[in-house]
Chains A and B, each alone.
Chain A
Amino acid sequence: MRIVHIKLVILLSFILLITGLGRIQLFKGQHYKRQSRENRVRLIPIMAARGNIYDREGKLLAKSRLSFNAAVIPREAGSNSSTLTKLSAILEIPVAALREKLKQNAINPFVPAVVAEDIPKKKAILIEEKILRLKGIVIETVPLREYVYEESTAHLIGYITKLTWQEYKKLRFYGYRIVDFIGRTGLEAAFDSYLKGEDGGYQIEVDNKGRWIKILGHKAPRKGKDLHLTIDIELQNYIYNLTKERKAAVCVMNPFSGEVLAMVSTPSFNPNVIVSPSPQRSRKIKVIFNSKDSVMTNRNIQSAYPSGSVFKVVTALCALETKVVDVGQTINCPGYFKLGRSTFRCWYSKGHGEETIIDALKNSCNVFFYKAGLGAGIDSLSSYARQFGFGRPTGIELGGEAAGLVPDKEWKLKKKGERWYDGETVIFAIGQGYFLATPIQILRMISVIANGGNLVCPQIVKKIADLEACSKKPRRLNFKKENLDIVRRGLKLVVSDSGTGRRAQVEGVRVAGKTATAQTSSGLTHACFTCFFPADKPEFALVVFLEHGGAGGVEAAGVSRQIIEFIKRKYLSK
């Protein structure tokens, strides 16, 4: 009978139904139960505020301010496009822009996606009041980073941006979320794990519109730890305003402890442009990143330059220590030095005549140091340069520090495939040739003379929350005290009426320093002046490096004088 065939087909299809039902309800029931819970229970994170950054006197340098974001639940806005239209009217942002943002930020139909960041507080309140009529809109409050002194501290403090997907994959096991910010440069990067707080959140039950049905749990966010710096923001700002038109690296440090009081690099950038949302943000950021003047570079630590004559300090000490020259010994400077077929000139073509090592430092005579360096030899010269901390990072807390370069025979053979020539020793002795140093290394070098033979570690962070940051002990260098004194006497004379650094003289403060006018492969010379003061009882060490700034004795010493005067007014006139 045909009816039996039909019955058979129907029986089979009912068996199919029950089997299918059993498969998903009985065998895969647990899997779907979990999915249903994930649908229902949502974690609404509350971002922890990042730690503040203060200067040595407790002035606020970087803080977190509360900002408001307008977020839309994608499922809601998709079906009800009038939501975006209404929101656009309130925020005065075109609907297309909001829609674009929604598309970018939507990750789940029920998780609110931010469409407008950092909206004015008044508008946020307005939206909150109308929230019943604006279906699917959520106002989120998030802490936003703000840098109080903008350009002045940009390199020092650095900035933060959101994690990239690749970074998130690596860092998610360390408590980072994809929406988290991470420090990119400066202290923000180096101390990210301290500054970053611990996010809290609400565990809530929601419906399909993301509306809160009830709160299941709550964990309060924990603010990040505050940083207290050794920086004096008044000095920092003074220096910034003094040098902002130039390409300069200026650093002030305590020569005994290594505490950095100011570190300015110009030209600078405004880190608030990067961290705070604004309509033209991406364009503005592009301007910063593509700048020809490398505004992002902290020239104090990330750029290595030919140091020029400041290196004569090393050569002088090396020659004294290796007994190549003696305090009383004089060397004649006829204005040039012949080595084989080459002639090396002094900057003063008439020649300085017979001079002692102290006079040579005062005059910044090239010929004296050509001879002294050649006498000591490349091996001693590079060894002493290394003892002074050149050729390797100083270990300051900031990242991306350049090592500089101390050339020697081995390096030359390996890099250039050639043996070392005496002519190269000659120019190395006056800080030219292959030798490269960062301004902070120069500052550390001058501090060795100032503090009587200790190599300090520059330090910026004094305290993390309530804990003193441990400072690295200075390294004792085995230089003879009398040799250091000789160099110091020379450096004092540099900043005297007849010395090359006479423009750095300040009434009432005895300054000891060294000028440098470093030749570059192209363009104007670099101008550098490094000093410590008061010369007999040093409290401050200073380096001013002006990239393509002209003559060290004129430009760099001039800037230094103003800085020293400022410090005198603030610290030394008690």
Chain B
Amino acid sequence: MKKIRLYLPNVLLTFLLVFALLGTECVLFAKYVVLNADTFRTVAEEQDLKTKAYATLEKEFTSNANTTGIPAEVFLDPVDTDALHQGILDSVSQAFDYLNGKSSDYAFTMDFTELENAVNTFFSDYAEENGYEKDEAYDEKVTSAISSAESRILFVADTFKLSTIYRNGWLEKAKKYIGYLNPAAMGMIAVTAALLVLLIVCNRKQMAHLAYWLGLASAIAGLLLLLPCIYLTATDYFTAFVMSDPQIFAAVVGFLQLLTGRAMLMAGITAGIGILLLVLFGILRHKAASDSQQSSPDDGN
């Protein structure tokens, strides 16, 4: 009777602990992995986004040269892969400055001084060589060429499409939710800790059983998160992403795959700890049974 009285609270506490552990993991994952500028920077490095972005620009400016008559090198020489890499990192830093309240709005920009000088020089040289009058139309052409090139470079360097996310108001929404993350994390940790304490109190006279219930909660919480991650990885789900621009595809798919990998690691560790605790429980129970048999040899007859 006493055992049943303990069994039911243990089942209930373990059930609640599974979801408390899941909630804690999810909140901490969102705070330290998803909404972390370093995750984006890692993706930029791992996926070699600068090279993909540069190749896209090279293709566009080379193709445009056929219609504009402006050689691609005029735009490409001042913008090398390092400048693009810095641009990609800046797009992330500026977005996180906005998210963390360090700036009031998000307006991704890069330093285009060299590009502007190169275009001005090209137009000026061209005008002098061909006797082209530097009138209002000339100025308009220079301004249009610079502005068009800058907007293309910014579009390509914004590999995570943070400007689009900002324009659609999603960055503003994320900013609001970031404010709730710390209290949510504290709340989830407090709930988890409270459930742990209650489980310890329930099993204070049989600590081996504590290992069982904790192990069970941890193993189930881990597996609940691990199985969807395994499915996403095994089916290569994210590679069906509809955007085929190489730098955007690599950034988005790389980011989602990195998140899945990290979630899998976290879930694997949780499940692993749970399984270890269950094994420990088995060992302790086996040892207790052996001790009990040794102390009362008649039981075996």
Pairing of A with B: no
Interface residues, chain B, with chain A CB atoms under 8 Å away: none
Name A residues whose Cβ lies closer than 8 Å to a Cβ of B: none
